[in-house]
Amino acid sequence: MSLKKINIAVAGATGYVGLDLINILSSHPRVNIKYLCAQKNIGKKIQFFDKRIKKKLPKISKLNTINWGNIDLLFTSLPVGESQILIKKLINFSNLKIIDLAADFRLSDKNRYKQFYMKKHKSADLLKYSLYSITEFVKKELKKYKIISCPGCYPTSIQIPLIPLIKKKLIKNKDIIIDSKSGYSGAGKNLKKKFKHKNIFSSIHAYNIYRHRHCSELDQQFSKINKKVDYIFTPNLIPTFRGMLSSIYVNVQDGITVQKVHSSLKKYHKNNFFVKVLPLNRDLGTENVINTNYCEISVCKLKNKKRLLILSAIDNLIKGAAGQAVQNMNILYGFNENSGLK
């Protein structure tokens, strides 16, 4: 018996995230890819941009060629500010759902959006129809929303281990230090326009230290479970294409041991297929999560018994973007959560 499939369109098909998304969707048993859209290279095959994709798919086309009445789900992987304009035009298509991989619907407050992205939100009236979705935290809520907003890669790597500990009040909400390192693909294909330092592909570079855009997401999500979480966040670009490692230093509450923190995280994520909490004090890098939708976590003791280190590793393009989007899709439509992502 053949499985019922949903019809998919992808806007922003030729960026790094778009290509990883299409690569995953091309082997997903429950989707038909009907349109792959971009602003340039109209008429080219997707294999021109990514040789990994073997399946015969529609050629690159413009958004205005889409028959929206025939589409169940739109993935948007567009520059900041563009998704909100497109989605405003499509919101009245009753059967159409949207999963946005950009930042346009991550913040529920239009004023915070303007503060961090230096743009006025042009679809602020639609924010109430959107859900900020790290899948592991909102599985029961996903189906209620028309617009699913995928978090940034840094906030994903940080929140998966940190949110449960804040909820359980196992750590103190001040003096949290977060040092995150990302492969340069996180900056997109316009990398050299964004970063002017020399030896970009063979050096490590800390950037946006004062106020990174992703802090707006962390502030918003932390505030939902605690009025004030005091942290320092430093993002670093490293000379590897993909992968992300966040080192999170926290103070434990009085009487809480590293063993308690470790066991609590294991218990919280025991039913989350894509989260792996490693044995206590395990060294951790990105080698096991590259090209997967997994998040690996290690809890490590330090010399100072009142502090501990939490390491969190993901693939920034998959668990931090395309894979998480497909994971959200699977829950949204009642598919197996790991379908297409094994």
Same domain, 74 and 171: no
Query: Looking at the structure, do residues 140 and 186 belong to the same domain, yes or no?
Result: no
Q: Is 47 in the same domain as 65?
A: yes
Sheet arrangement for strand 275-277: 205-206, 231-238, 176-183, 244-251, 307-314, 295-301, 275-277
CATH number of the domain to which 219 belongs: 3.30.360.10
- What's the chain's average pLDDT? 94
Q: Is residue 299 part of a domain?
A: yes
Residue range(s) defining the domain that contains residue 14: 6-151+320-332
* Cβ neighbourhood burial of 232 (10 Å; 0-12, 13-18, 19+): exposed
Q: 42 in helix, strand or coil? A: coil
pLDDT in tens, 19-55: 999 999 999 999 999 999 999 999 999 999 999 999 9
94-136 confidence digits (pLDDT tens): 899 999 999 999 999 999 999 999 999 999 999 999 999 999 9
Rg (CA), the chain: 20
pLDDT of residue 1: 46
Are 71 and 188 contained in the same domain? no
Span 151-169, mean pLDDT? 97
One domain for residues 134 and 33: yes
In a domain, 217, yes or no: yes
Quote the number of domains for the chain: 2
Look up 300 and say whether it is catalytic.
no
Could you say which of 37, 150, 153, 295 is catalytic?
153
Give me the pLDDT at residue 188, please. 66
Note the pTM of the prediction, 2 decimals: 0.94
Same domain (yes/no): 101, 208: no
Residues 90 and 75 in one domain: yes
Q: Furthest-apart CA pair in the chain: how many Å? A: 63
Rounded Cα gap, residues 226 and 129, in angstroms: 24
Structure tokens at 245: 């490692």
> Is 337 contained in some domain?
no
Residues 147 and 182 placed together within one structural domain of the fold:
no
Are 238 and 219 in a shared domain?
Answer: yes
Q: Quick one: average pLDDT of 274-303?
A: 97
Residue that is written with structure tokens 């900020």 in the block: 132
125 and 173 housed in the same domain: no
Low-confidence winner among 64-68, 188-192, 245-249, 275-279 (lowest mean pLDDT):
188-192
Residue 316 CB neighbours (<10 A): 31
DSSP letter for each residue of 45-92: -GGGT-TT--S--PPEE-GGG--GGG-SEEEE---TTHHHHHHHHHTT
Characterize the bridge pairing of strands 231-238 and 295-301: unpaired
Q: For 65-74, 194-203, 240-249, 308-317, which range has the lowest pLDDT when averaged over its residues?
A: 194-203
- Is residue 111 a part of any domain in this protein? yes
* Residue 199: pLDDT over 90: no
* Tens of pLDDT, residues 47-81: 999 999 999 999 999 999 999 999 999 999 999 99
Please report whether residue 116 resides in a domain.
yes
